[in-house]
Structure formats: C-alpha cells, structure tokens
Homo-oligomer: A and B are copies of this chain.
Amino acid sequence: MNFNAITIRDIAKELNLSVSTVSKALRDSYEISEKTKKLVIECAQRNNYRPNPIAQSLKQGNSKSIGIVVSTIENQFFAQVINGIESVAHKEGYNVIITQTHESYDLEVKNVNHLTSRSIDGLLISLSTETPDVEHLKTLHAQGLPMVFFDRVTEDINTHKVISDNYKGAYDATKHLIDSGFRRIAHITSPPNISITKERLAGYKAALADAGIFTPDYYICYCPHGGRDISEIENALNFLLNLKDKPDAIFTTSDRITTTTIFLLNKLKVAIPADVALVGYTNTTLADVLNPPLSSVHQQGFEIGQKATEMLLSLIKSKWPVTEFETVVLPTHLFIRESSTKTKK
C-alpha cells in the first residue's frame, strides 16, 4: 500500500520542469517567476500534493515532534497536563507522541528508547514511581537531547523542571484537617523515592509540627506502585483502621490513591468524615459528585503542561547549549468539601 504516492518529481515531470524548480516554486523562492509558480502550485493542488515530512525531516535534521512519558493517561491529572502540552506544541507546529509507563521502570526505559529511536526533538517526562535511578536519561541528556521534567522530577539531571507546590499543597491540606479539629491524621502516599512523595510528606509533617501535633511514623503508609493495585491501599487501610489509636483523618496523595481510598472506605462502611475524614490530591472533575464530596488538593495540570512545553521548545530552538536551568513551581488549590468537615458524633 503506498499511500500518498505523488512527489515533487511527479509534478516536475508533468510540467516538464526540474525538481528543484518545483521545490523552489512551492517554497515561494524569489528565483522562480510568478508564472511558473502559479503553474506549479496549481498542479500541486490538483494532485493533492503533500510534501513528504520524513524526507523533510531527514534534510532538516529535526522531526518536529516531542515525546511525552507519563504513568497513565487514565489519570485525569496527566490528561490535563497533556492537553496543556498539546495546546502549546501544536501552536508551534510540533506534534506529540504520548507513551505510558503504568508506573513500571522497565516500561519507562522502553518508552524512552522507543521515543528516541523514533527521533524526537525533545522529551517531556514525569518519572515512574518504580524508577530507581535516571541513568537511562543521563546518557541522552549528555548527548544533548533536550528534556524537561514535570510533576515527578529528579535532582540528578540538571535541566528545566515544572512542578506543583507540593509542599504547600500538602501543608494546606493537613492544616485544614487540623483546623477542622482532627488530630490523628494519617498519610497514604506513593513510594518515598519519587519527588512528589518527599515534597508532600514534608508539607504534611511541617503542618503537624507547626501545630505541635505528634504523629507516629506508622501513620505514614507507602504504596509501592503508587496505588496502581487496589491491594496496596487495602493493606494501608486495614493497617490504619485496626490501630488502637486509629486515625480520625487521612491525607492521600495522587489521584489513584485518593479515589481508591474513598471507594474502599465506602465499601468498608467507614463513614466519611464521621469515622474518618479525607483530603486527597486529585484532579478528577468528579470530586463534587463523589460520596461524600471530596475535599481535594487540585493541581494546575493544564498550566504545568503548557509551561513545560514552552521550556522544552526554548531548549530545542536554542542555538547555544543551555546551561542555566529553571524550576517553575505552580500553586495548588485546596477545595474544601464534605469529606473533611468535622461532624458531631
């Protein structure tokens, strides 16, 4: 099947012109007379000619496409980030290739290799929860592949980064729970190796410390796969709910963990917020309609995507090796709904 067979050569043959004349005519070169240009353009349109982008890429040395690596697009946060990325990329004539790691390190490596072997001009990446190191990216970075990290970033590679103010988001959420009268506030979170976990954990701890509330370490539960498997959260909840100093509130990170927590609490007939209050990081548009309406820390997903893409494009377009890098931090917003409202028992 050879789709789109018509080439610049076919036009040249049809009009008895040289290939270069046709090319130049189509690119509106001053070297070509108006008459010939008109002739060529008319012929091109009539034959529905489209320049072969692969040939153009080969000649020009770029592919006009950027690669994206996220954990999963089923997560609304990433879907929103991707929308932001596309909005900027398309405007600049770049298209995007989206890949998903499903939190797996292996898949992350495979996707990155696949993307680079498909020739991308730059990479936007949010690390997988299972990623232990970034050696697979360091080589590429050293070779000069422009990359920008967002959401889950690494300190081991010096480049542009875009993140939410995870510390403050967690601080605000925890403080809100404290202000609402909760004292035994547990935390279910992603693995401790990824950046968002550390930052949010720090915010959580700081809010508790600032309020002078002592919280035992076992109130902090890590989900090895970031909540990919329901059992991770089941285990955490079973543990927490069976403590003799059972928490009266839970602060969760990540969409998946948050929504699974509310699902499981409902299933276990644990009343929210009467038995346990809940505040979680999530970008789902359904927070209002959940049972109960979910208090949530919302991130500016779309804007994160936009900013990261702008930075990536600036790297791609830069004629000089860039050495000054920036980490942009976007604010989060706490939406208070019923799941964290203190009720009289």
Q: Which single residue of chain B is at the shortest CB-CB distance from A261?
A: B289
Q: Are B143 and A52 in contact (CB under 8 A)?
A: no
Chain B residues with CB under 8 Å of A58's CB are: 52, 54-55, 58
Whether A50 is near chain B, meaning CB under 8 Å from some CB there, is yes
Q: Provide the A23-60 mask, 1 if CB < 8 A to any CB of B, else 0.
A: 00000000000000000000000001011111101100
Q: Which single residue of chain B is at the shortest CB-CB distance from A100?
A: B86
Chain B residues with CB under 8 Å of A73's CB are: 73, 79, 82-83
CA distance A146 to B3 in the complex (A): 8
Q: Which single residue of chain B is at the shortest CB-CB distance from A63?
A: B54
Q: Provide the A291-322 mask, 1 if CB < 8 A to any CB of B, else 0.
A: 11100000000000000000000011011010
Q: Are B74 and A83 in contact (CB under 8 A)?
A: yes
The smallest beta-carbon distance between A267 and chain B, in angstroms, is 8
The smallest beta-carbon distance between A293 and chain B, in angstroms, is 7
Q: Which single residue of chain B is at the shortest CB-CB distance from A283?
A: B74
Q: Are A53 and B119 in contact (CB under 8 A)?
A: yes
Chain B residues with CB under 8 Å of A158's CB are: none
Give residues of chain A (95-146) contacting chain B, Cβ–Cβ below 8 Å.
95-100, 114-119, 121, 139-140, 143-146
Q: Are A262 and B289 in contact (CB under 8 A)?
A: yes
CA distance A48 to B117 in the complex (A): 12
Chain B residues with CB under 8 Å of A53's CB are: 117-119
Give residues of chain A (247-271) contacting chain B, Cβ–Cβ below 8 Å.
259, 262-263, 266
Whether A212 is near chain B, meaning CB under 8 Å from some CB there, is no
Chain B residues with CB under 8 Å of A82's CB are: 73
Grouping DSSP codes into helix (H, G, I), strand (E, B) and loop, the A interface class, with mixed when no group exceeds half, is mixed
CA distance A262 to B114 in the complex (A): 41
Q: Are B288 and A263 in contact (CB under 8 A)?
A: yes
**Known pairs A4-B116, A58-B54; A289 contacts B266 (CB<8 A):** yes
Which residue from B4, B118, B259 sits with its C-beta under 8 Å from A285? B259
**Known pairs A3-B144, A119-B54; A290 contacts B290 (CB<8 A):** yes
Q: Are B286 and A52 in contact (CB under 8 A)?
A: no
Chain B residues with CB under 8 Å of A292's CB are: 291
**Known pairs A54-B58, A58-B54, A114-B95; A143 contacts B3 (CB<8 A):** yes
CA distance A76 to B1 in the complex (A): 34
Whether A284 is near chain B, meaning CB under 8 Å from some CB there, is yes
The smallest beta-carbon distance between A268 and chain B, in angstroms, is 13
CA distance A58 to B60 in the complex (A): 13
**Known pairs A48-B143, A96-B97; A1 contacts B321 (CB<8 A):** yes
Whether A65 is near chain B, meaning CB under 8 Å from some CB there, is yes
The smallest beta-carbon distance between A227 and chain B, in angstroms, is 12
CA distance A263 to B294 in the complex (A): 13
Q: Are A259 and B55 in contact (CB under 8 A)?
A: no
The smallest beta-carbon distance between A56 and chain B, in angstroms, is 9
- 20 pairs of residues in contact across A and B, judged by CB atoms under 8 Å: A1-B144, A1-B318, A3-B143, A4-B144, A4-B145, A51-B117, A54-B58, A65-B118, A73-B79, A73-B83, A74-B76, A95-B99, A95-B114, A95-B115, A96-B98, A97-B97, A259-B289, A289-B290, A290-B291, A291-B293
